[in-house]
Amino acid sequence: MTRLLRYIAAVAALALFATLMPRVANVDAGLPADVRSGERVHWTPEEIAALVRLLRAEGASRVQAAELAQIVHSESRALHLDPLYALALIKIESNFRANAVSSQGAVGLLQIRPEAARSVAVAGESARGESPRAARLRDPQTNVAVGLRYLRHLEGQFPDRTTALAAYNLGPSRVRRRLERGAPVPRRYAERVLAVYRALAEATTTSPDGAPLPRS
Residues designated as active site? 93
Distance of CA 128 to the CA centre of its chain: 27
What burial class does residue 6 get, using C-beta atoms within 10 Å of its C-beta: 0-12 exposed, 13-18 middle, 19+ buried? middle
- Residue type, position 149, single letter: R
Half-sphere exposure of 155 (CA within 13 A, CB side): 15
Q: Write the secondary structure of the chain as one string of H (helix), E (strand) and C (coil).
A: CHHHHHHHHHHHHHHHHHHHCCCCCCCCCCCCCCCCCCCCCCCCHHHHHHHHHHHHHCCCCHHHHHHHHHHHHHHHHHCCCCHHHHHHHHHHHHCCCCCCECCCCCECCCCECHHHHHCCCCCCCHHHCCCCCHHHHCCHHHHHHHHHHHHHHHHHHCCCHHHHHHHHHHCHHHHHHHHHHCCCCCCHHHHHHHHHHHHHHHHCCECCCCCECCCC
